[in-house]
């Protein structure tokens, strides 16, 4: 059961939506929420090295104190972001803890996640315009490394009313089904379940899910669809106007995914609703 939520905050528009999802869930699940901001040490050191090199090449005395000044500014910015988050929590009757750290952003988030049940992160971050692809680099790293479930939020907030579980019978999918059942029960919502496949094997997997969800007394609507999993999942999300997808995290090694691709990764990059990733 989700009782501790870690909201990662960087001041971006996506981050603000992530905060709204964290607060929305914490209010309904009666969970505690921690707002976290990480001062990116890579950007500080990179900026300092750049200015040092430029000033030296122009014949000026290098501005050796630049990094410390930059750090002070970024820490102050982080404190302002966390104060705004605390104010939003108070408006919803929540008591929030905050945490500010410095380091490699994804690593610090994953370290803090050890004491959380769920991590909420924006689809992209404050440096989105410099990112490649459709998913922020920090978010991608967190989804791969984080030891706890991760909810990746889109840029627009919608209250969760129609969750969808993508279930393929794997161990990670079983973990996702457990989280989906717990969440649907706590939020008093029906749960749609999708298996992409065909034949007796598909029937067996869906029957397995039906029996499991019956034990949780979850109102479940189960469906089997043929086709390519990544495309079918997105089609069903759009058709059913689903506002949350629960899915198992990456199922292959990084090397295999680079060659063959990953259903989870594809859906995560393309989905317009929040994606709840489980290991």
What does the mean pLDDT of the chain come to? 86
* Residue 58, domain member (yes or no): no
What confidence score (pLDDT) does residue 104 get? 92
What confidence score (pLDDT) does residue 52 get? 46
Grouping H, G, I as helix, E, B as strand and the rest as coil, residue 60 is coil
Q: By residue range, what is the domain housing residue 11?
A: 4-42+71-153
Task: Check whether 51 has a pLDDT greater than 80.
Answer: no
Whether pTM > 0.85 for this model: the answer is: yes
State how beta strands 32-40 and 244-248 pair.
unpaired
* Residue 255, domain member (yes or no): yes
| More confident call, 265 vs 210 | 210
| More confident call, 70 vs 227 | 227
Q: Long-range contacts for 254-259 (Cβ within 8 Å, ≥24 apart)?
A: 254/144
Q: Residue 127 — very low, low, confident or very high, per pLDDT cuts 50/70/90?
A: low
Task: Check whether 71 has a pLDDT greater than 60.
Answer: yes
State whether 140 and 11 are in the same domain.
yes
What confidence score (pLDDT) does residue 251 get? 54
What confidence score (pLDDT) does residue 178 get? 96
Chain position carrying tokens 């161990």: 171
With b for 16 or more beta-carbon neighbours within 10 A and e for fewer, the 35-49 pattern comes to bbbbbbbeebeeebe
Q: Which of 207, 151, 156, 154 is nearest to 180 (CA)?
A: 151
Count CB-CB contacts under 10 A for residue 258: 10
Stretch 6-35: mean pLDDT: 96
Grouping H, G, I as helix, E, B as strand and the rest as coil, residue 39 is strand
Rounded Cα distance between 266 and 233, Å, is 10
150-182 pLDDT per residue, tens: 999 999 999 999 999 999 999 889 999 999 999
Taking the C-alpha atoms of 9, 15, 19 and 21 in order, what is their torsion angle to the nearest 10 degrees?
Answer: -140
228-268 pLDDT per residue, tens: 999 999 999 999 999 999 999 865 555 445 444 488 888 98
Of 127, 153, 179, the residue at which a domain comes to its end is 153
Give the chain's domain count. Answer: 2
Rounded Cα distance between 112 and 142, Å, is 11
Chain position carrying tokens 């999942």: 233
Q: Residue 128 — very low, low, confident or very high, per pLDDT cuts 50/70/90?
A: very low
Exposed, middle or buried: residue 240 (CB in 10 Å: 0-12, 13-18, 19+)?
middle
Chain position carrying tokens 């079918």: 232
CATH number at residue 257: 3.40.50.620
How many Å separate Cα 140 from the centre of its chain? 9
Stretch 71-77: mean pLDDT: 88
State whether 219 and 264 are in the same domain.
yes
Task: Check whether 129 has a pLDDT greater than 50.
Answer: no
The encoded tokens of residue 30 equal 């009666």
* Residue 158, domain member (yes or no): no
* Residue 136, domain member (yes or no): yes
State whether 19 and 115 are in the same domain.
yes
Of 107, 134, 153, the residue at which a domain comes to its end is 153
Taking the C-alpha atoms of 170, 142, 155 and 230 in order, what is their torsion angle to the nearest 10 degrees?
Answer: -30
What confidence score (pLDDT) does residue 70 get? 79
**115: which DSSP letter?**
G
């Amino acid at each position: 059961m989700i009782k501790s939520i870690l909201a990662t905050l960087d001041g971006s528009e996506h981050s603000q939506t992530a905060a709204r999802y964290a607060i929305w869930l914490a209010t309904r699940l009666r969970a505690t929420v921690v707002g976290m901001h990480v001062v990116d040490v890579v950007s500080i050191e990179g900026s300092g090295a750049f200015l040092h090199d430029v000033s030296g090449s122009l014949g000026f005395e290098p501005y050796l104190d630049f990094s410390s000044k930059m750090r002070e500014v970024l820490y102050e910015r982080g404190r302002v972001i966390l104060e705004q988050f605390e104010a939003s929590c108070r408006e919803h009757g929540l008591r929030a803890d905050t945490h500010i750290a410095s380091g490699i952003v994804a690593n610090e988030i994953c370290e803090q996640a050890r004491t959380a049940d769920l991590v909420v992160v924006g689809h992209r971050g404050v440096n989105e315009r410099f990112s490649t692809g459709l998913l922020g680099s920090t978010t991608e790293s967190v989804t791969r490394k984080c030891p706890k479930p991760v909810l990746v939020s889109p840029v627009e907030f919608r209250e969760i009313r129609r969750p969808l579980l993508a279930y393929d019978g794997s161990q990670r999918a079983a973990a996702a089904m457990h989280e989906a059942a717990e969440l649907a029960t706590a939020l008093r919502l029906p749960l749609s379940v999708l298996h992409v496949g065909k034949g007796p094997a598909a029937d067996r997997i869906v029957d397995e899910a039906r029996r499991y969800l019956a034990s949780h007394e979850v109102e479940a609507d189960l469906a089997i669809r043929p086709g390519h999993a990544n495309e079918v999942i997105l089609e069903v999300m759009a058709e059913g106007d689903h506002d949350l997808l629960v899915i198992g995290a990456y199922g292959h090694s990084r090397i295999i995914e680079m060659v063959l691709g990953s259903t989870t990764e594809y859906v995560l990059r393309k989905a317009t609703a929040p994606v709840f990733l489980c290991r």
